[in-house]
Structure 1
Amino acid sequence: MKNTICSAVALMCGLAASAAQAQTAVQIYGIVDSGVAHLTNVNSAGDSITKVPSLTSSFPSRIGFRGTEDLGGGLQAFFVLENGLALDTGTQQQGGRLFGRQANVGIKGAWGTVTIGRQLNMTYISGLKTDVLGPHLFAIGSIDPYLPNARSDNAIGYMGNFGGFVLGATYSFGRDASAAGGPAATNCAGEVAGDSRACRQYTGLVGYETKAWGLNASYDRMNGNVGAAGGLTSSANTDIRKTVNGYVMFGPTKLGGGVVDRETNAATGRTDSDLYYLGVSHPIGAFVVDAQVARRETKNSANDVDMYVARLTYAMSKRTFVYTAVGRMDNKGASAVALDAGGTVGAGLGQNGVMVGLRHHF
């Protein structure tokens, strides 16, 4: 009897150990970031405004859940659920989605990663290492709001790194299911029977990356459908971005830049533009200094824009940072691109801005 009991206890302990090994390791993480910004010429009368931004400060605020499970044989299953929030009011971002920044599940191994769900696409990923300002309030996302919001609903994605050579792609059956408005919600749910092009999107990336330098190119094509924003009101309408960018390290100093060629074939007509950007980032002890210049040239139009931004960040600890930034946006012709993401400016007017903020990671 004693041996039977011991055997049973040993079996139960063994099963418990196996179950523990098979459990998914879950991490809760996030960024809480907010500040105060002052902008000039927010309307045609030349008025100024001081405000707490909604879309972003130095980084968009978020809370996320990330889990992985070791499947053996070099394979891992994983999931990511990431919520974006506006810290000024506590409301949800990305068109009111609960997990609007990411909501996907996947599997990865030595051959790469396959992901299913709402996810970052290759336009977003291609700019990660070359845009030194990132999704800052004053940055190239003010000129092209899609760039820091390049995510796809209903998507299948692949990403692989083979000795520094990077390959990636996403394919979406319906790129944007939210109708709430803005760059992250353009009312193109797709998955329409009888129209395989409706709200389809595919993106691709090829590049080579090392610690010292990197170069990549990406392609992003999205189709429209009835009711979609941006004039893409037919599945025959398209918005295409082709990007080439790179970075190089000079010791701790990073130099990054690129060009985004955009061609929009909308119901209202065709527009072509090129967005150029070049930035530098340099650490000085607990400080980091970033600066960037950018220009958007719209073909066959006088409505060009130029942007100049400088930012200083101080690390109070490994998780807490304070920062300040100054910037200017020069609008030519009838252009009305605000310096601050999601803001306003009088048509043809230049806009100056200054901001201070606090960011904490957990």
Structure 2
Amino acid sequence: MKTTGIRLAAIALAASGAASAQENVTVYGSVDAGVSYVSNQRGGSSVREDAGNRSPDRIGFRGAEDLGSGYKALFVVESGFNLDDGSMKRAGVLFNRYSVVGLSTPAGTVTMGHMPDFMYEYLRFQSNGNLGSAYFFHPGNLDNMANQFQLDNAVKYESPNFGGFTFGAMNGFGEQAGSFNKARTYSFGAKYIGSALNAGLAYTVSHDRAINIGGTLGVGRLLGQTLSANPVAPDAVYANFNADLTTSMGINASYKIGDFMPHAMYSRVKLENKVGSAAQANYEIGTDYNLSVADTVGVSVSRSTFQNIRWNQFNLINMYRLSKRTTLYVAGAYQKASGGYAVINGFLPSNSQSQAVYRVGIHHLF
């Protein structure tokens, strides 16, 4: 009888442990579609059905297993796709946005795999590109506010939340024989999320990064590399700019005042090779205003510089929430350039110094 009681107690203890270690898995995602008009792409206007504009089209799976005593195992896998034609965002890469597994502890969280840098993770929430439209991102998205650049073979540490303050560091191993730095990327960041004030800063260094400067900025030649014979020709052919070193930094903040949320940010990206260096600087200010519980207007202005080129852009969006998950919106952006071509993010360069885009869309979260 005593032996049976011990066995029953052991079984109950084991069952209790198994119950406490249950894993919760969540499926989530975003789909966005709309019709956009652009005034000038390589000399002509166009109308197109465009996807992933208010927020990138994606589907993901995240899970966590409670291990007890403040420890959790976790994973996230997230894939970006194009809703308009069903294609993968990056051909041959299924989980192109996130593919990580890790351990959360009282001393912080460690994750490993494929992930964005802190320029995206800690600065995107105050960028009007994320609050509004992909067209509002800075020319070429060199500062990665649109999460088009991720780290492979990465290890990340993120601190616990200290009264709203969090900091982190990550390293993406280049895994090149004979050189620790070849193709390596590392990033640092810190953020504060409060009831009214949100702020973030980030710093990223990438070795041996290829960037489509010609196609996104309308630049034909940079630091000794020919990128395109004519970047705004209808049949233009682009070559990537191969940077030996890319250094990115940024800082931003927003503050809620009643129905207003003013925000500002600054970012700088420096490209280097054996010939020299070139840098892009981005300045942005704006505000969101709640017309009602369901209706929000966002407005921002930005100025970007690269070499002798200047881009000034005005952005406006009206978002009407049908529910917590579904939003109807109209958006517009106008850009004026000097010293080069107008290049609103997401479009081919204009063959003039001005470019405008207007859009009507619907966005749904699940």
Structure 1 and Structure 2 fold alike (TM over 0.5): yes
In structure 1, which of residues 18, 25, 50 is the aligned counterpart of residue 47 of structure 2? 50
SS in 1 for 2:59: strand
How far 1:107 moved relative to its partner? 1.4
How far 1:360 moved relative to its partner? 1.2
Tell me the residue number matched to 2:215: none
Tell me the residue number matched to 1:342: 346
| Normalised TM-score (structure 2) | 0.83
How far 1:18 moved relative to its partner? 3.6
SS in 2 for 1:197: coil
CA distance in structure 2 between the partners assigned to 1:210 and 1:17 by the alignment: 37
SS in 1 for 2:146: helix
1:10-51: CA deviation from partner (whole Å, max 9, x where unpaired): 86676455434322110111111111111011113xx11111
CA distance in structure 2 between the partners assigned to 1:335 and 1:169 by the alignment: 37
Tell me the residue number matched to 1:184: none
In structure 2, which of residues 252, 257, 270 is the aligned counterpart of residue 263 of structure 1? 270
Tell me the residue number matched to 1:222: 206
In structure 2, which of residues 349, 358, 364 is the aligned counterpart of residue 354 of structure 1? 358
Tell me the residue number matched to 1:280: 287
| Normalised TM-score (structure 1) | 0.84
8 A Cα contact 1:133 1:291, kept in partner: no
1:59-85: CA deviation from partner (whole Å, max 9, x where unpaired): 001111010011111111110011111
SS in 2 for 1:126: helix
Tell me the residue number matched to 2:226: none
Tell me the residue number matched to 1:331: 337
Tell me the residue number matched to 1:193: 177
8 A Cα contact 2:29 2:58, kept in partner: yes
- Structure 1 stretch displaced more, 317-326 or 206-215: 206-215
CA distance in structure 2 between the partners assigned to 1:7 and 1:240 by the alignment: 63
- Structure 1 stretch displaced more, 157-166 or 307-316: 157-166
CA distance in structure 2 between the partners assigned to 1:292 and 1:331 by the alignment: 17
Quickly say closer, same or farther: Cα 1:90–1:142, change in 2 above 3 A: farther
8 A Cα contact 2:341 2:354, kept in partner: no
After superposition, residues 68-217 of structure 1 pair within 5 angstroms as: 68-134=64-130, 136-145=133-142, 146-149=144-147, 150-160=149-159, 161-173=161-173, 190-217=174-201
Quickly say closer, same or farther: Cα 1:268–1:86, change in 2 above 3 A: farther
SS in 2 for 1:168: strand
Quickly say closer, same or farther: Cα 1:253–1:133, change in 2 above 3 A: farther
SS in 1 for 2:339: coil
In structure 2, which of residues 287, 291, 306 is the aligned counterpart of residue 298 of structure 1? 306
Query: Structure 1 residue 21 and structure 2 residue 20: aligned?
Result: yes
How far 1:126 moved relative to its partner? 2.5
CA distance in structure 1 between the partners assigned to 2:8 and 2:356 by the alignment: 72
1:126-185: CA deviation from partner (whole Å, max 9, x where unpaired): 313311331723112444253212421111112223223321111111xxxxxxxxxxxx
How far 1:262 moved relative to its partner? 1.6
How far 1:335 moved relative to its partner? 3.0
Tell me the residue number matched to 1:176: none
In the alignment, residue 355 of structure 1 is paired with which amino acid?
R
> Structure 1 stretches of 5 or more lacking a match?
174-189
CA distance in structure 2 between the partners assigned to 1:210 and 1:132 by the alignment: 19
RMSD: 2.4
CA distance in structure 1 between the partners assigned to 2:282 and 2:211 by the alignment: 21
CA distance in structure 2 between the partners assigned to 1:62 and 1:359 by the alignment: 12
How far 1:207 moved relative to its partner? 4.2
CA distance in structure 2 between the partners assigned to 1:357 and 1:282 by the alignment: 20
SS in 2 for 1:198: coil
1:301-353: CA deviation from partner (whole Å, max 9, x where unpaired): 1x11111111111111121111110111212222341x2x3311324431111
In the alignment, residue 280 of structure 2 is paired with which amino acid?
S
